[in-house]
Chain A
Amino acid sequence: MLAMLLQSGETAAEVARISGAEAFATAWTYMTQHWFAYAGDTPMRFFTSIDYHQYFIVSCFIFCLGFYGVAARRNAISMLLSLELMLNAVNINMSAFNWYWGPTVTRAAFTSEEAVITNLGQCFSVFAIIVAAAEAAVGLAIIIAFYRMRKSIMLDDANLMKW
């Protein structure tokens, strides 16, 4: 979304114009001729040059792993561990986008000659870590209180409020 917002006018119009199957075909073309091809100036570009795409895709993978863990694990502590994985995916994304887009995101970068760098993404990651700490403390307290009451931390046993 950020990339969409920051694109130049011509490219943004191009992105807005194509949609659906055509967008899929374009992405497929990029994959087979650009990212995973041995022709071109940088062979196997996805693996041999690092920019924000690689961070984005690794963090997507971690996020989906965390989603699978939250949906599929049976006990509450494993579910909290998977939640930590999802939060870390978000943190990777924010710091990597800050690294790559930081000089261009600030308004001063459009008006002044020198590179003005924002660190909004890193500050946001700090807040995400703070919220993760609070979530871990309260979540574990709830799990331990539940364990005292039911002698179990399996989520199937948490059916007191189920009608």
Chain B
Amino acid sequence: MATPVVIFFSYLLVAGLLVGVSSLILLAIARFRPYRRFLATLAVLGFVAFVWGMCALTQPGYRLLVCYFWLFTAAVVGGGVGCVTMRNVFHAALMLILSLLGVAGYFILVNAEFLAMVQVIIYIGGIMVLFLFGIMVSQNIIGTQLKQNTPQSPWAAICAGVLFMVMFFTGLFMTLKPTLTVTPDVLGNNTGSVGWSLMATYALPFEVASVLLLMAMLGAIILVRKD
């Protein structure tokens, strides 16, 4: 199976991934503008090489699914890195919206259409707009290009990296296959079953959640009231 073509595309895939991720990380640090443009070009080229190698290696039936998965992954990871590292908080919120759109794509891929719509309507349309309003209300402090990190941020990065390595090995170690093979038509009409579960099986938690939302609304009004 390991023909020279397979080996070539494997190396192309890994090299594209390494170049893309490392230039993305450098892009988060770099400030000099032509250098930033060069790094952005490198990131796009790396991602293109990655997708090319991946498409060449994937079996034809799965190619579209896998391409969509890595496209959404690029949106989620790029948006997340941008959200955590950007100095302008408004831009950070916009990058978080990109990341949330990628998560909505994930929900489509795992047959959770209801969750995808909830993600777009509630998260992006509601919560993120609330955040943008909050940023704009306090614009004169945080809209400028302030330094946003605490002096302890390298330690935070080291802790997060160690946590990620632990989780990475744990995740690759889960190798069991389920007894039933999941295909998209098995899950079928998922929105209806989610609605049925929310209204019948989990009716009590649903009502408790509505009470929680009511309390949050009252609490928010009382907290920001001018008395």
Interface check B40, CB cutoff 8 A: no
Please measure, in the bound complex, the distance between the C-alpha atom of A5 and the C-alpha atom of B60, giving whole angstroms: 34
Interface check B42, CB cutoff 8 A: no
Which residues B27-64 have CB closer than 8 A to chain A? Answer: 50, 53-54, 57-59, 62
Q: Are B13 and A44 within 8 A (Cβ)?
A: yes
Q: Are B174 and A145 within 8 A (Cβ)?
A: no
Q: Are A69 and B84 within 8 A (Cβ)?
A: yes
Please measure, in the bound complex, the distance between the C-alpha atom of A71 and the C-alpha atom of B202, giving whole angstroms: 35
Which residues B57-104 have CB closer than 8 A to chain A? Answer: 57-59, 62, 65-66, 69-70, 73, 76-77, 80-81, 83-84, 89, 92-93, 96, 99-100, 103
User: What B residues does A81 contact at CB under 8 A?
Assistant: 83, 89, 92-93, 96, 131
Tally of contact residues, A, Cβ under 8 A: 100
Q: Are B209 and A130 within 8 A (Cβ)?
A: yes
Q: Are A129 and B118 within 8 A (Cβ)?
A: yes
User: What B residues does A66 contact at CB under 8 A?
Assistant: 80, 84
Chain B, interface size: which category?
Answer: 35 or more
User: What B residues does A63 contact at CB under 8 A?
Assistant: 167
User: What A residues does B152 contact at CB under 8 A?
Assistant: 71-72
Q: Are B179 and A104 within 8 A (Cβ)?
A: yes
Which residues B166-224 have CB closer than 8 A to chain A? Answer: 167-169, 171-176, 178-180, 182, 186-187, 190, 193-194, 197-198, 201-202, 205, 209, 212-213, 215-217, 219-221, 223-224
A39-B2, A72-B153, A145-B224 known; A57-B62 Cβ under 8 A: no
Identity of the chain A residue whose Cβ is nearest the Cβ of B77 in the assembled complex: A61
Q: Are B217 and A137 within 8 A (Cβ)?
A: yes
> Closest CB-CB distance, A57 to chain B, in whole Å?
5
> Closest CB-CB distance, A72 to chain B, in whole Å?
4
Q: Are A48 and B58 within 8 A (Cβ)?
A: yes
Which residues of A come within 8 Å of B, CB atoms? 3-4, 6-8, 11, 23-24, 26-27, 30-31, 34-36, 38-44, 46-50, 52-58, 60-69, 71-75, 77-78, 80-82, 84-85, 88, 91-92, 95-96, 98-104, 109, 115, 117, 119-120, 122-123, 125-127, 129-138, 140-145, 147, 151-154, 156
Please measure, in the bound complex, the distance between the C-alpha atom of A134 and the C-alpha atom of B215, giving whole angstroms: 8
A38-B2, A117-B193, A137-B216 known; A92-B106 Cβ under 8 A: yes
Beyond A64-B163, A88-B103, 16 additional pairs, beta carbon < 8 A: A3-B174, A3-B176, A24-B169, A38-B7, A43-B9, A44-B14, A48-B59, A56-B171, A64-B164, A67-B160, A71-B156, A77-B134, A88-B99, A100-B182, A123-B201, A129-B115
Q: Which of A47, A115, A127 contacts B209 (CB 8 A)?
A: A127
> Closest CB-CB distance, A159 to chain B, in whole Å?
14
The 6 closest A-B pairs by CB, nearest first: A134-B216, A71-B156, A72-B153, A99-B110, A141-B220, A38-B10
> Closest CB-CB distance, A110 to chain B, in whole Å?
9
Q: Which of A62, A109, A133 contacts B216 (CB 8 A)?
A: A133
Q: Are A138 and B216 within 8 A (Cβ)?
A: yes
Q: Which one of B126, B147, B216 has the highest number of Cβ atoms from chain A below 10 Å of its Cβ?
A: B216
Q: Are A58 and B73 within 8 A (Cβ)?
A: yes
User: What A residues does B119 contact at CB under 8 A?
Assistant: 91, 129
Q: Are B178 and A103 within 8 A (Cβ)?
A: yes
- 20 residue pairs of the A-B complex, CB under 8 angstroms, read A6-B178, A43-B1, A43-B2, A48-B54, A50-B66, A50-B69, A58-B76, A62-B77, A67-B159, A72-B152, A81-B92, A81-B131, A85-B83, A99-B182, A122-B114, A126-B114, A130-B212, A133-B216, A143-B134, A156-B150
